[in-house]
Amino acid sequence: MLKLAVACALAALLPGWALAQEAAPQLEENPRAPRFAEVERGFFAAVEAGYLGVLKTPVADPARHPYACLPGSSCSGGFASGLAIDLDVGYDFTRRFAGALFVLQGFESASKTYGSFQLTAVGAELRFAFVGLRDANEVERFYAYLRGRGAYVWTYPTGLFGTTDELAGAGLGIDYYTRLRHFSVGLAVDGLYFFQAKVPAFDVLATLRYTF
């Protein structure tokens, strides 16, 4: 009799327990739980380093630098090349459009008679990413962009390549936003022009960027 009573009690309780389990509300997502963007956007700082080539090196002040204008020469040091280092601080206005201020330092070397010179450019740039590709997780990480730059330039030694100049440039670059969220790496190639020296130039720069 006791076993029969226990069995009847369990039979009566089980349907109610099952209904209670089905009616139990699902746990709500904690609104205070941290949410992280796969790709950070906003204020950023970047370092660019690579190669700077100047196609011609006229002598701005032959009286000050007579060694660069030997008899029978064209008063030019020819092609100059060297290291370029660029520091950027900017902001992402959208996923595709950004602006930045930059300082570029170039260390150039031409012919033996012309020697070496340095240039410092301070300016601004705008960039637009015209291609964005997604990874396997549907996160847009790879971008190809166009950028335009303008800067005011100081050169040293004074009067060799020049004293001051204006620089304009346009280029193409690629960026890959890594899974470290704040970091991206890339490569940029720019065509440049020095207006007072009337000289074209170009650069090839590897980039490392941190977004705050």
- Look at the chain and report how many structural domains it folds into: 1
User: Within a 10 A sphere around the Cβ of 133, how many other Cβ atoms?
Assistant: 10
Beta partners for 145? 129, 173
What per-residue confidence (pLDDT) applies to 176? 96
**How far, in Å, are 38, 104, 116, 153 from residue 97 at the CA level?**
18, 22, 37, 26
Query: Residue 142 domain-assigned?
Result: yes
Calpha distance 66→34 (Å, rounded) = 67
Calpha distance 17→102 (Å, rounded) = 68
Q: Is the pTM of this model over 0.85?
A: no
Calpha distance 149→99 (Å, rounded) = 10
Pull the structure tokens for residue 151: 């800067």
Query: Residue 115 domain-assigned?
Result: yes
Query: Residue 25 domain-assigned?
Result: no
What per-residue confidence (pLDDT) applies to 145? 98
Query: Residue 128 domain-assigned?
Result: yes
HSE (side-chain half, CA atoms, 13 Å) at 132: 12
26 CA to centre of own chain:
44
Strands 140-156 and 116-134: antiparallel
Query: Residue 105 domain-assigned?
Result: yes
Element of type H or E holding 108: strand 97-109
Q: Which domain holds residue 100?
A: 43-211
CA nearest neighbour of 173 among 185, 157, 162: 185
What per-residue confidence (pLDDT) applies to 136? 86
Calpha distance 141→14 (Å, rounded) = 53
Query: Residue 29 domain-assigned?
Result: no
CATH number at 103 reads 2.40.160.20
Query: Residue 184 domain-assigned?
Result: yes
Query: Residue 129 domain-assigned?
Result: yes
What per-residue confidence (pLDDT) applies to 88? 98
Calpha distance 135→35 (Å, rounded) = 20
Digitized pLDDT (tens) for each residue of the chain, 212 residues in all: 545 554 555 555 555 555 555 555 555 655 554 467 788 889 999 999 999 999 999 999 988 988 887 666 678 888 999 999 999 999 999 999 999 999 999 999 998 889 999 999 999 999 999 999 998 888 899 999 999 999 999 999 999 999 999 999 999 999 999 988 899 999 999 999 999 999 999 999 999 999 99
